[in-house]
Chains A and B, each alone.
Chain A
Amino acid sequence: MTATAETTAGSRGSQPPVPDGAVTVTVKIRRFNPEVDDEPRWDSFDIPALPSDRVLNLLHHIKWYVDGTLTFRRSCAHGICGSDAMRINGVNRLACKVLLKDLLLKGDKQTTITIEPIKGLPVNKDLLVDMEPFFEAFRAVKPYLVTYGNEPTRERIQSVADRERFDDTTKCILCACCTTSCPVYWTEGSYFGPAAIVNAHRFIFDSRDEGAEERLDILNDIDGVWRCRTTFNCTDACPRGIQVTKAIQEVKRALLFKRV
């Protein structure tokens, strides 16, 4: 870590009223704006917050009332769009799915939360990273239904069991929590990473799909599934509860034994 000076940022004017039941949270944020900064730094903000607040609420409070230059992505604010993946107290989470009460010890009136950008992708500004390498890996695994021959007039028939087979990996919201929690990905940026493999899995195990061989060939590559060291960081990080490591193992097994 190369962070240096620790500053406590100023304010953008009068502060909104403090709600009843608020606790004081010290939010330590790793900041970096290449436009002006030579290297990253830590800023600290003491703000009032309710235990029911999401970490995203704290970031908004800082941006709206203290420091408008604080930069992060967010959209839906309830864990569906995947915009606000960040490292919160050292683990990858969506800021809109972590509630302050879950970070407080019982009876705490004061706490410190550390927020950093997700690791392994270039930082563009503060908590906002360049997502292009991540999406490039996703696009490379043919993340779409591949079929040959004539399409049926009506829907393709798929049994309830066949549909269930790949249900877990359809939940992926491409937030990058898994990929950027992977120690292999941190050191080998060329590794496809968990999210891309999850999305390959979603089609490899779809009974309607005929592209499994092509995808398995891609994932058999030097930067493919064999890089995985089953650290399980990805499974812990997934805000959608996907069994990411298991999905990667299933793809490995498909390569070893039967090619689906």
Chain B
Amino acid sequence: MQFHKYDVVIIGAGGAGMRAAIESGQRARTAVLTKLYPTRSHTGAAQGGMCAALANVEEDNWEWHTFDTIKGGDYLVDQDAAEIMAKEAIDAVLDLEKMGLPFNRTPEGKIDQRRFGGHTRNHGEAAVRRACYAADRTGHMILQTLYQNCVKHGIEFFNEFYVLDICLTETENGPVCTGAVAYELATGEIHVFQAKSVVFATGGFGKVFKTTSNAHTLTGDGMGIVFRKGLPLEDMEFYQFHPTGLAGLGILLTEGARGEGAILRNASGERFMERYAPTIKDLAPRDIVARSMALEVLEGRGAGPNKDYVLLDCTHLGAEVLETKLPDITEFARTYLAVDPVHEPVPVYPTAHYAMGGIPTNIHGEVLRDNDNVVPGLYAAGECACVSVHGANRLGTNSLLDINVFGRRAGIAAAEYALSRESHVDLPENPAAAVEAQVALALSEHGQERVADIRTELQATMDANASVYRTEDTLKQALHDVQALKDRYAHISVQDKGKRFNTDLLEAVELGFLLELAEVLVVGALARKESRGGHAREDYPNRDDTNFMRHSMFYKQGEGLSADIRLDYKPVTFTRYKPMERKY
């Protein structure tokens, strides 16, 4: 066991983690622990843009952006947080430009902006050009730019350090976060990092689904660790399905394609979004477009030999727009489906994309331990966190915005908190004991279940029973399946017993997090007997503000993987926007 001492420890090196590190690293002694090399993080897969009301190409203001975000989130958004995000968006984009991000430019040399789903002029009148972008590589450019600036500022990284636990020390005022415990992939050694503050920025858990835009490594580790500590997770039933995944593969094709004018068509060539969202059509928010696509297929209007997808038609955009503004997705379609978007429409179907829920935080990134109190020293930002700026459905581009605005805020808050403490709070006794036991158990001989089998079955049941449309029956089936898989997980076999880069062990540990988070998602979806944003219940098709205008809060009860889940609720923060029916 090795021991380290820092002011701030940041877990995760995607957009949120590195944005936090740039702030924290310049103020306090900071270490970034990351399961992957920083430039491998999935922020790099984001494509279309990052919205901010710069008004570089047409009239816009941050209040409209706030409204769109709240309406897009089906009024489950905490309005104070949305206001902060939309207001700080402008500086967030300008900061990135000053760090060197190569945005596309207008003829005047300003940052160019494009249309995106759900972003409108004057409270829904028409689509507005708000998304700042770099071709269809905006996430790649953000990830690279942030890493470049981490290099510039000499940020200290511990690459391929897989954090498996955090240290909470009980004090008379409740638990305080005092560090993190990591497994070093290269050596199998356990490292304890004592810190005054810890920031989670570990991303999402899309790998609970089979068809997903998410990376293999997005297994909800941070959320899982927090949940196992008895701390709450918020709004986990709200999971976003991005409308345009490459059919059968789930690889993301940016909404920016539709922002540039691409059109969704069914088998007969009809522009079906005109029926579902007459005003902004193909640029309706993702939940609405994904449901519309699923309905087209369910009602027999899907394209292809099995009528199981719809078509994204970019052919009228012309080769130049595709090659200059959408080059990567053009290449994805060519490489993976052998379809050339210049000449033929691309088969697409919704793909599991983004967790609206996560570790509840306030607007400073401080992690909540219940509805009213924070855990001093513990912070979270990005997809693993729930501020909540996305409510029941995130608008496109708002995730890149979220990581920059709240990553920055969490980094500053964590550093300032650390600097305000004279000394480190003592670690709990034997801080590494739980992780050592967990690793030893996984490596011991106790069964013949294969990790891949359990993961495949988990993903199959989640795709079949807990995706775009849900019912009581499908969700009960999913819950039954997940619980049975959790029982089998107790008998997994890890074949690689070595200490050196044991990725077999890593996958086994990741599966434990996936199972737990899948169960939370399903329990939340069962309990929420309404349809709101990304959560669509066929048996409860309407939004029910009387009973469900509130955040879900999930607490783990007891020890072990098969412990129960307690569901509580938290009020939504309103400022100036009253819930209305959501029409586009």
Give the interface of A toward B (CB within 8 A).
12-13, 16, 33-36, 63-65, 67-69, 71-83, 97, 99, 124-125, 128, 131, 135, 138-139, 142-145, 151, 154-160, 162-163, 166-167, 170-174, 203, 206, 208-209
Contact = CB atoms under 8 A, between A and B. Distances in A.
Given A33-B500, A35-B500, A81-B41, A144 B100 contact: yes
B104 interface: yes
Nearest to B328: A80
A171 B139 CA distance: 11
A75 B44 CA distance: 11
A145 B100 contact: yes
B335 A81 contact: no
A158 B502 CA distance: 47
A86 to B, nearest CB: 15
Given A75-B217, A128-B501, A145-B100, A80 B45 contact: yes
22 contacts: A12-B493, A13-B448, A34-B500, A63-B504, A76-B45, A77-B216, A81-B39, A81-B44, A99-B336, A124-B186, A138-B151, A144-B100, A144-B152, A145-B148, A155-B103, A160-B105, A163-B103, A170-B141, A170-B144, A173-B44, A174-B39, A209-B100
A65 B450 contact: yes
Nearest to B35: A75
B494 A68 contact: yes
Nearest to A124: B501
B500 A166 contact: no
Contact of B108 (A80, A82, A125, A157): A157
B36 interface: yes
Contact of A160 (B40, B107, B499): B107
Interface string B89-119: 0000110011110111111111100000000
A160 B503 CA distance: 45
Contact of A35 (B103, B137, B452, B499): B499
A189 B423 CA distance: 44
A141 B335 CA distance: 33
B514 interface: no
A36 B498 contact: yes
Contacts of B98: 145, 151, 155-156
Interface string B473-510: 00000000000000000000111101111111000000
Given A80-B44, A125-B500, A203-B100, 9 more contacts: A73-B40, A76-B45, A78-B45, A144-B151, A145-B98, A158-B109, A159-B105, A170-B134, A170-B144
Contacts of A135: 37
B292 interface: no
Contacts of B41: 81
A131 to B, nearest CB: 6
A185 B100 CA distance: 29
B495 A68 contact: yes
A218 to B, nearest CB: 14
B297 to A, nearest CB: 21
B498 to A, nearest CB: 5
Contacts of A139: 151
B215 interface: yes
Interface in B105-160: 105-111, 134, 137, 140-141, 144, 148-149, 151-152
A199 B296 CA distance: 46
Contacts of A80: 44-45, 140, 328
A81 B500 contact: no
A142 B501 CA distance: 30
A128 B504 CA distance: 14
A64 B538 CA distance: 36
A72 B185 CA distance: 12
A124 B500 contact: yes
Given A99-B335, A170-B102, A83 B496 contact: no
Contacts of B107: 160
B505 to A, nearest CB: 9
Interface in B295-337: 328, 332, 335-336
B451 interface: yes
Contacts of B186: 124
Contacts of A131: 37
Contacts of A170: 102, 134, 137, 141, 144
Nearest to A153: B94
B42 interface: yes
Contacts of A82: 39-40
A166 B104 CA distance: 12
B251 interface: yes
B44 A76 contact: yes
A171 B105 contact: no
A36 B497 CA distance: 11
Contact of A156 (B97, B104, B503): B97
A69 B97 CA distance: 44
Contacts of A209: 100
Contact of B110 (A67, A125, A155, A172): A155
Query: Closest 3 interchain pairs by CB?
Result: A145-B100, A68-B495, A64-B452
